Amino acid sequence: MSDKKIRVLDLLDLDLKDRNALDLRCIAGRRGLSREITVSDINRPGLALSGFFDSFAYERVQLFGRGEFAYLQKLKEEGKFNTIEQLFSYSIPCMVFTHGLYPDETFLSEAERTDCPILQTDLESTEFSMRLLRIFFQLFAPKKTVHGVLVEVCGIGILLTGDSGVGKSETALELVERGHRLVADDIVELSCVNGNSIIGRGANKLISHHMEIRGLGIINVSQLYGIGAVREHKEVQLVVKLESWDQNKIYDRLGTDAHTQDLLGVKIPYIELPVKPGRNLPIILEAAAMNERLKSMGYHSAREFNQNVLKWIESGEAQSAYYGNEDYY
């Protein structure tokens, strides 16, 4: 049972298009549209229609396909209305009929009496199930908002964090200028999907592709650089913290140790990038993104360098180079 919930009315109000559209419409039980969905799953009520209600998952959305619809027709012909009455005695959030199927008046009358929403879609059962579960994964996924900038660099989603004024937006703007894409600036909403992926998007869809550049003001990246310079969401695959250069701090110079940051229970690769005049941060971030792609393919540059150095020392060539140099005598 999830501690999150949505109303049935929210499913009808979702602005979904193309392959995500549910094409739902309410055909009965409108007074129950405020009922809450608390479980991100679907149930096919075949056993319940046969009269077996043990372990009936009534708290889920009930899906009626051609098989369930045919069984309803059989119950009507046999006059077994008690099973339908028992079905509606449970607090079901809503029932959905796929393939454009339309239940009989007896079924709809019972839905009106119990205020149980009856929804209809022209989609096939399998397709509707996949779309609805995909939407449930997004709606019920754990979420949090962070202060930062999310950009896509060389196909890698990089979340830039750091203190205000350190240069996150300016760095992201330079990356956009170099052909990469902005996902969100300032406030990034993170959601955990499938328990192992962190998806980032703008907390506010209307302003997520706007950037605040100190001394310049607010700019619209999609208008200035074209629609190809932005995207709606992206998986976070690397977290980069920008911080002012501290001469007393020891920064990682080899990269042999893997550092991660926990985001909603998922470990994301993490690096600290010191900022000071003269450092070309966009180029460094491009290199970091491509290096992360190499790591995902099984190639780790720093570890290979370390192994090569060890092999060189073990081979004796290092000692020969050291003791064979006349400068050391």
Q: Of 35, 60, 131, 168, which one is the catalytic site residue? A: 168
> Among this protein's residues, is 253 annotated catalytic?
yes
CB 306 within 8 A of CB 257: no
> Among this protein's residues, is 233 annotated catalytic?
no
pLDDT tens across the length of the chain (329 residues):
445 788 999 988 887 777 888 999 999 999 999 999 999 999 999 999 998 999 999 999 999 999 999 999 998 888 888 899 999 999 999 999 999 999 999 999 999 999 999 999 999 999 999 999 988 988 888 899 999 999 999 999 999 999 988 889 999 999 999 999 999 998 999 999 878 899 999 988 878 888 888 888 888 999 999 999 999 999 999 999 999 887 887 777 666 677 899 999 999 999 998 888 878 899 999 999 998 888 888 777 766 766 776 676 667 665 565 556 555 44
Helix (H, G, I), strand (E, B) or coil at 163: coil
Tell me the whole-structure pTM to 2 decimals. 0.72
Q: Of 180, 186, 231, 241, which one is the catalytic site residue? A: 186
Q: Of 17, 19, 253, 276, which one is the catalytic site residue? A: 253
> Among this protein's residues, is 267 annotated catalytic?
no
Q: What is the CA radius of gyration of the chain?
A: 28
Read off the tokens for 56: 């009936």
Helix (H, G, I), strand (E, B) or coil at 42: strand
Read off the tokens for 301: 């540059």
Chain CA centroid to CA 302, Å? 31
Q: Of 31, 134, 147, 267, which one is the catalytic site residue? A: 147
pLDDT tens per residue across span 209-227: 888 888 888 889 999 999 9
